Every structure is written in C-alpha cells, then in structure tokens.
A and B are shown apart, each in its own frame.
Chain A
C-alpha cells in the first residue's frame, strides 16, 4: 500500500464516516430522549435519498440551475422529518412508551417493513442516480490524489457543522435544555411544567430529519437502490452501539473509526469489507459492553 492508496483510503473513510454519522446521530438522539431504538431510521435515510434523487433528476432535466441541489437536500430532510417523523411519533410511538422493550422494538420494526414497501411502490426497484451536486463542485488535488470536493470537503464540513450546532442547540437554547431535562428525568421534568410530549415530538422530528438529510447527501455519491435502508440501519446501529447509546460526540468518533476501518478493508481485504464494521463493534463491546463512551446507568427502581 503506497502513500497515494493510503490517502485514498483515508479520504474514502472520512467521506463515508460523515454520511454514517448523520444517520447515527439522529438514531442516538432519539434513543437518548425516547428510549426507543428506531429501526425505521434506515427507511428515513433511504426515503431522503430517493426524494433528492428523483426530484433532483426531474428539475435538473427541466433546466433549473444546479445550485438548487443543496436547498433540495434541506427540503428532502424537512419532508422526511415533518411528513413522516411527526405522524409516526404522534400517532404510533406515543401509544407504546409504556409497553415492554421487546414490543417497542417490534413496533418500529413493523414501521420499517411498511416503509420498505412504500419505497418500492413509489420509486420501483430500478436504481436512481443524480450526481449534480457532486459534478458541480469538481475535483481537488490533495497529496497527489484527485478527489471530489463534494466528498472530501463538503460532507465532512456538513457533518462537523451538524455536530457543533447540535451541541450548541442542546446546551445553549431553551428547547435544547428542555430536551436534556427530559432525557435526564422525564418525571421530574414534567413535574416542573415541561411538556414532555412536545419534547418527544420535537426530538423525533429532528432525528428523522437528520436521517433524511444523510440520505439526501448520500444520494449524490451513490446510486439509490432498494435495500439501502436495511444496510444503513444496521451499520448506524453498529456506530451507535460502539459509541455507547445516546452519546452524540461519541457517535462522531465511532463513525470515523468504522468508516476508516471499512475503507481500508476495501483496499486491503475486499471480501471483509461488509464485515469490518460489525467486527469493530463486536470487539469494542467485548471489552466495553456499554460502548466506548457509554456510562453504566444505575437502575431506577
């Protein structure tokens, strides 16, 4: 492995990690507040990608300006968050918070099954490819390697921006502080007048929108195919579990770890490419069952 291949592997890994992080951070945020592992999160990612690729394909073919690609991604994320995430939390999840964990997991699993077919009904099974955003920004040369600006600069920047703004939102704004309070102790938070239902809804919409945004960003770099949601939910769970459930900053580091591990496997041992994320997760969990940055919770009685 020479220096150029090494650089390529690192760039691949960083670009991939940025995408996985977008999905994983939504997953971990939702878990932190609602205490539900949202299996349907992978579908939000896939639907975000489908929306961007199909709408983008249509408007760019009609001759609209290519700079619309980025606003379109925000639009897709907002649609996923508000149109899908909102009703799911309001109408469905709200009825099951009191049920046992296994059933909560099954409910989101059922939503996932439904959404997988919804995607196939709307978009069919043929792949979509819409790379206007990628082509528009061109390539840059770093360490003698040509790489797309979109993947090497835009994706990591967006991921870091999301990480920082999420942190600022949670620590500095009122809504964010309310979310943290409910996460810490829902009962006490309700007792001092916080509307926990609203906080749950807000969190779920934001989390779903983040997954949709991840999918929108990803749609420029890869073709959008059925089954991408299933792969992503397991992968982002691997990231979240490696970091420790509910750890936002940890998810960024775990995403980088898994993204780099995967991209190096592509160049060194291609057969193991699919396995590397899970192997990393299993190794971490063997040593630290609560994840790299997880904290052992004392059981509430």
Chain B
C-alpha cells in the first residue's frame, strides 16, 4: 500500500445504495440493497446512504429513509426524468466524489448494470457484477466481500477490491431481504445537484412499449412455475388459473421458454430471474441446478412431479408425486373452495 493508496482508503467511509426508480416508482431491489446495506453498515459502525436520482422523486428519498438509510441524497432535476446513461452517470459520479463512500451498491437490473459500468469506469475503481452474497470484513480492513456465482453457477467466487475506493458491486434482485419500512425512522433528505443541461444530452427516449405479457416475478408472493413437463401452452393456461386463484404470477423453466410456450420474461433461474416468493409451486420441473439457483430462496416450495426421485424434491417442503394434469386441477378446485373463486 502506497501512502497515496492509504489516504484514499482512509478518506472513504459509509455505504451508498443507488436507488433505481422509474416515474417515481422505486424498484424493490433498491430496498433489498438498503436492507443488506443496513446490516453491513451496522457491522462497520458506519452510516448508510441512499442516492435518489430523478425528477419529482422526493417521496422516493423519504421511502429510502423508511427502508433503512440514514441520509438520502436527492438529485431532483428535469434532465433526470427518464433514465439516460450520460446524465445519470454524471450525477452519480459527482455525488460519489463529494460524499466519498467506501462501498457503493447498485441493483443488477438492466438499468443498474448500464449505470454501474459507466460509473465504476469513470471512478477508475473495481466493480463486482451480479453478487448473491455481500459481507464485510470487520475493521480495520473493512473490505467488502462480494461473492458471485461463476461458470453456470457451478462455482462461487469472492471478489475483493483492496486498494481503490469506493468498492462497487451490483447485486441481483430477489436475493437480499428488505427491512420492513418504518415511516417514523429518522434520517435526513439532503438535496444535491448542479449543472445538468438538457443540451448536453444527446439521447432521447422516444417511446416505451410496455410488454403486454409483463410479469413481476421479483415482487410476487406466490409463483406457480412450469417446466417441460407442462407439455405445451395449454398446460400453462392451467398454471395461470392456479396462479390467479392464489394471487400469484406464473414462472417457467428455460426449456418451457425455449419451446415458445411462454415468454422469456417468466424464466426463473440462472439466465432468468432470481425469485424469493412466500410460496413457489414447481410443476413438471426436474430441478436442474440452473433452475434451483433462481428459486431456492423461496419460503415454501411445493413440487409436483411424476418421477418420485426428481431432484426438485430435494429442495421441496411438500412433495406431490403425480401427474400435474391431475394435481393442478385438484389444487385449483381446493384453492377455490377455500379462498373463493
């Protein structure tokens, strides 16, 4: 460690979470990261900061306090109304340079990854991608231990950034747990901002076309998921009915997506979404590791499969061996009977 490096290390303190929002609606991964950030900040005995970028997003900054931040930096500017890499990364770099956090966390969403790569490069610092475990070494080293799955989830690797600050990491949605929001938590909202000018931004968002098959697996409390065993699009209609009665969403394995039975947005697993609902019902899914990594954090797992030794049963709380075309209708009928149509 050179004296210059030592100075950089000692100047930086605290954990900053970049909150992602669109049109004033925060993404749940931001609150999950504030939850994990809180745990890490307490372990280091330091403060937890949130950075909220957008236009007319003061309520989001207040929410960030409720979800665990001690300070929420609010950069409210019409130029930031819609996400564009240049003004967002400029603003984030500006605040990080001024506030000097030792750790910066970003959700590994499309937007979060787009932003994190730009910001880390401008700050010339290390960025660990797509983490599923985040811990810190206790003082004096205070190192962020950012761990991520590698090689098709066959290996986990811990990545460290020893000599530069901040240590940056993007983290997967659905992996960490948010704290229950407390509207009475005390914390400061600090307005920041300076010279963003629309003339300096070349990018224009012309349109946003919402996907009609849009699905919010990340926030779903119940997911009914189907695999190759579902047999076709009609089978997924059945799963949709069950999901509907239970107030949940439909998930899928990759082969079901690749067969075109259901849209890619529903895919759970390594190359799909990571989910942690209260209830996950896996129907006709064998339980390959690439699927399991996406759903094993679910609170209760029910598996329906006609092979008694299907690997999915090893992670299931409730096993139903049988043909899903018999079991799922029975579940729908039973759910209707108990919960109403």
Q: Tell me, yes or no, whether A binds B.
A: no
Interface set of A (CB-CB < 8 Å, partner B): none
Q: Which residues of B contact A (CB under 8 A)?
A: none
